[in-house]
Structure formats: structure tokens, C-alpha cells
Amino acid sequence: MAFCAATPAAAQGQWQAVEKVQTYAIKGKTGPELYASIGEHGPQVGSLKLRTIAHTNFKLTWSRNYQRQDDGSCVLVSARPNLAITYMLPKPRGKLPALIRKNWDIFYAGVHAHERVHGEMIKDMVREIEKVSIGFSAPDDPDCRKIRTELTKRLAEISLMQRQRSRDFDQVEMSDGGNVHQLILALVNGG
């Protein structure tokens, strides 16, 4: 079975992700107390439900237009993503002492920036899916079934690559001396 993809440039890239921040409550009046509360209340991720400081999640749906061709093939003529990205971040309950507030603001801004990189990786994945999808065709597919199966395989590969890229980024950022590691040390040690 031969599959091909031609990409009509005019149909691509005319979408925008909806991004929002949600928070979870933590408590404490010192850096160590705030960080301990993150450990108790942070979002749980992965199959082991490990707690993390912050998390980026997304919901992606598509409006796709598959069209049968006169020669019996099927072509995906348009694919418009609907992408919603949610950043889950910690938020202290109550007022913090001035110095702790300053340290917290630096920590929060750094963690938020880290999560936004994950958001950009998700948007990159959607753009890649769009690039691979629009114009994708399957010969001898008058019911537009084969095309869906083959496209699903390709999209799964793109999704796996995005997940690996995200894990690699976290590993660098959270390793000794990494950006997130430095943010944690500054918060806990007071500057």
C-alpha cells in the first residue's frame, strides 16, 4: 500500500492554542515550608503517581475533512487542531513575609517558564501532526478507513517523540545544577 503526503501551505498554521494556568494551594512562611508543602500537595503524574512541583497537560481534538477521490483514494484535505494547554502551578495560601515573597516570586517565575517550554513542545508536536496530516492520502480507500489507520500510526510516533523530548528536557532541568534544581535551592536556602 502506498501512502503519500502533500502539504497545502495555506491550510496550515491558522490556529492558536488556548493556554491557562491552574493552581494548587500550598502553605508555609519559609522556603523550606513552602517546598515541603509542594511535596505534599503537588500534582501526581505518571503511573506511580509521583508528586511534582508543576505539570503541563493538554487536550487536543481535531476537525478533519477526509474526501474520497474519483480514483478510489482518500485524501485528508484539512485538519484543524483545537488545543488547550493547562499549566498546574503551586500558589501559597496567605501572605508571605517580604523576603520570602521575593524568593517565591523568582521560584514561581522560573517554574512557570519551565512549564511554558513544555507548552511550546506540545505546540511543536501539533504543528508536526498538521504537517504530516494535511494532504495525506491512501490509494484504494473509498471508505476512508485505511487512511485513518495509517495516519494513527504516524501520529503515535510523533506523540512518542514529543514525550521523549519533554522527558529529556526535564532530566536536564532537574539534574544537579540544572535550572529547576537551582530554583529549588534558592527557595529552600533563601536566595
Give the number of domains in the chain: 1
Which of these, 42, 169, 61, lies nearest to 116 by C-alpha position? Answer: 169
Residue 43's Cβ-side half-sphere holds a number of Cα atoms within 13 Å equal to: 16
SS3 84: strand
Contact (Cβ atoms closer than 8 angstroms) between residue 162 and residue 122: yes
| Distance between CA atoms of residues 34 and 85, nearest Å | 26
Provide the pairing of β-strand 44-45 with 50-51: antiparallel
How large is the greatest C-alpha to C-alpha distance in the chain, in angstroms? 72
Please give the residue range of the domain that contains residue 90: 4-189
CB-based burial of residue 156 (10 Å sphere; 0-12 exposed, 13-18 middle, 19+ buried)? exposed
Q: What is the pLDDT along the chain (191 residues), one digit of tens a residue?
A: 333 444 444 445 689 999 999 999 999 999 999 999 999 999 988 777 888 999 999 999 999 999 999 999 999 999 999 999 999 999 999 999 999 999 999 999 999 999 999 999 999 999 999 999 999 999 999 999 999 999 999 999 999 999 999 999 999 999 999 999 999 999 999 85
Residue type at position 36: A
| Distance between CA atoms of residues 45 and 48, nearest Å | 7
Alpha-carbon distance values, 3 to 75, 136, 140, 146, 157 (Å): 10, 7, 10, 10, 16
pLDDT at 172: 95
Entry pTM: 0.87
Residue 13 in grid coordinates:
498554521
